Amino acid sequence: MTQSPSSDLMAPSPEEGDHVLLPWLSRMRAAEPLWQDGYGVWHVFRYADVEQVSVDAARFSSDQSRVNPAVADLARGNLTLTDPPEHRRLRQLVSTAFTPRTVAGLEGRIVEVTEALLADVDGEFDLTEVLTHPMPVTVIAELLGLPAADRGYFAECADRLLGIHADDPNDPELMVRFEAVMGELGDYLREHVRDRRSNPRSDLITDLVTAEVDGERLTDAEAVNFCTLLLSAGHITSTLLLGNAMLCLDEYPDAAAELRADPALIPGAVEEVLRYRSPFAQVVRVTTTEVEIAGISLPPNSFVMPWIVSANRDERVFPDADRFDIRRTPNNHIAFGHGGHFCVGAPLARMEARVALRVLFDRFSELRISPDAALEFYGRGVFGVKSVPVVARRNGHNRNLT
Ligand code: HEM
């Protein structure tokens, strides 16, 4: 284990809660827009700087194996850890699976899943358990072609993945723990990958193993890592987004009342939730050469951590940034990242959140977070709560929403 630096040389973890993290990010944006922590990682806080790092793949690489060779096996086939031109090749494989048009075709099924999950609940319940976790898991599992019955297993893996975080990106323990979960999930997915090679079906795993880009097919290892990424990225963040929407509406009950009265405002509200409580807290890059950020020069092979949560609260870009405003225009948040690695699943995540809010407002005449709920935030990497206990009262009617 590496030795921990003193606490003033470490960023607060999202686990400490929004009341600790957000004021710290605000102070850093104002006073120290580029800051090096005790492990040598450079943190980037302002919108313009986060944007600069995100678009420049040549100088800010996503391939962490250049400084941490232990990542190499995990990086194979994993879009988030790959640079162009390999990144472009892999990304083409899913380019059609998640376009707004393809995702529009899934709306009916997302409504159906959401309605079924909410069919029998009323009074006090945990919205994460009932809806915000099972809905996105069911949708991504069905897209990939995985049995819904294995949902509990994905949930367990996701929880274990979210529980792994270390401040030091070079901490060897981090890789050992990460590989243990990914290896297990990989073994499970490998069976499906191999099965689809011999028994093609109409699902995303089949598309991934049969598609050819530049005359080449994915190897088993690449396909497994690709599926692992889609399965984990495809539900953890969506679950957090739906939970974050509840936190926003609980903090701003007038906005909730407006949305209930006029569902046409829901898409704008979802964008504002993404800005105000961005589920993906920060990304990681490695410098390939000497670079300058916020007037400071960084050597090659430096870890850089652009904070999405901070960029989206930057007063230089968003007037009155600490106010949740469902009519905010323009709203150029970067909750889905920016540049070549912009989130593949953004249209799906947006659709899931819009449908969830619509159905929730329709089903419940009252819905708020339990007044005595002790909200527990996840640790590094993401920004959101582990469970959302609510008090709800059902509407007398059930409109058909499809
Ligand atoms: C609210 C929900 C979501 C948020 C906030 C989110 C956020 C992000 C962010 C910030 C990135 C960029 C990472 C980077 O620059 O290193 C990203 C990439 C990615 N996301 Fe999402 N995501 C969400 C939902 C989804 C869903 C539903 C899927 C899959 C169905 C998905 C799949 C991916 C993939 C495959 C990438 C890698 C893209 C690349 O590196 O080219 N995400 N996401």
Q: Give 192-225 pLDDT, tens digit per residue.
A: 999 999 999 999 999 889 888 778 888 888 888 8
Count of CB atoms within 10 A of residue 257's CB?
11
Quote the ligand 1 centre to 105 CA distance (angstroms): 20
Question: 267-322: per-residue pLDDT in tens?
Answer: 999 999 999 999 999 999 999 999 999 999 999 999 999 999 999 999 999 999 99
**β-pair partners for 22:** none
Question: 90-123: per-residue pLDDT in tens?
Answer: 898 887 778 888 899 999 999 999 999 999 999 9
Give just the sign of the alpha carbon dihedral 146, 379, 11, 25. Answer: positive
pLDDT on residue 1: 41
Q: How far is CA 12 from the centre of its chain?
A: 19
273 lines ligand 1 (CB under 6 A): no
226 lines ligand 1 (CB under 6 A): no
How far apart (Å, rounded) are the C-alpha atoms in residues 176 and 161? Answer: 12
103 lines ligand 1 (CB under 6 A): no
Mean pLDDT of the chain: 90
Quote the ligand 1 centre to 294 CA distance (angstroms): 26
How far apart (Å, rounded) are the C-alpha atoms in residues 263 and 260? Answer: 6
pLDDT on residue 99: 85
Contacts of 109 (CB under 8 A, 6+ apart): 139, 142
238 lines ligand 1 (CB under 6 A): yes
Which of 53, 83, 204, 344 for mutating ligand 1's site (highest number of atoms within 8 Å of CB)? Answer: 344
Tell me the average pLDDT across 66-87.
Answer: 84
Contacts of 149 (CB under 8 A, 6+ apart): none
User: What six digits make up the tokens of 186?
Assistant: 């990989």
Quote the ligand 1 centre to 371 CA distance (angstroms): 32
Q: Are 369 and 388 in contact (CB under 8 A)?
A: yes
User: What six digits make up the tokens of 46?
Assistant: 């302002």
Question: 136-188: per-residue pLDDT in tens?
Answer: 999 999 999 999 888 788 778 877 777 776 667 777 677 777 778 888 888 89
**Higher local confidence (pLDDT), 334 or 174:** 334
pLDDT on residue 7: 59
Give the range among 5-19, 35-49, 364-378, 384-398 with minimum mean pLDDT. 5-19
Atom of ligand 1 nearest to the CA of 230: 29
How far apart (Å, rounded) are the C-alpha atoms in residues 278 and 290? Answer: 30
Binned at pLDDT 50, 70 and 90, residue 402 comes out as very low
**pTM, whole model, 2 decimals?**
0.94
**CA nearest neighbour of 135 among 143, 401, 78:** 143
How far apart (Å, rounded) are the C-alpha atoms in residues 32 and 43? Answer: 9
How far apart (Å, rounded) are the C-alpha atoms in residues 345 and 238? Answer: 10
Q: Are 47 and 334 in contact (CB under 8 A)?
A: yes
80 lines ligand 1 (CB under 6 A): yes
How far apart (Å, rounded) are the C-alpha atoms in residues 311 and 96? Answer: 29
Tell me the average pLDDT across 345-355.
Answer: 97
79 lines ligand 1 (CB under 6 A): yes
Binned at pLDDT 50, 70 and 90, residue 257 comes out as very high
**CA nearest neighbour of 348 among 107, 145, 134:** 107
pLDDT on residue 2: 45
DSSP 162-183: HT---S-TT-HHHHHHHHHHHH
Question: 1-41: per-residue pLDDT in tens?
Answer: 445 565 578 888 878 889 999 999 999 999 999 999 999 99
Domains and CATH numbers, the chain: 10-54+82-394 (1.10.630.10)
**Higher local confidence (pLDDT), 389 or 65:** 389
pLDDT on residue 5: 61
pLDDT at 327 over 60: yes
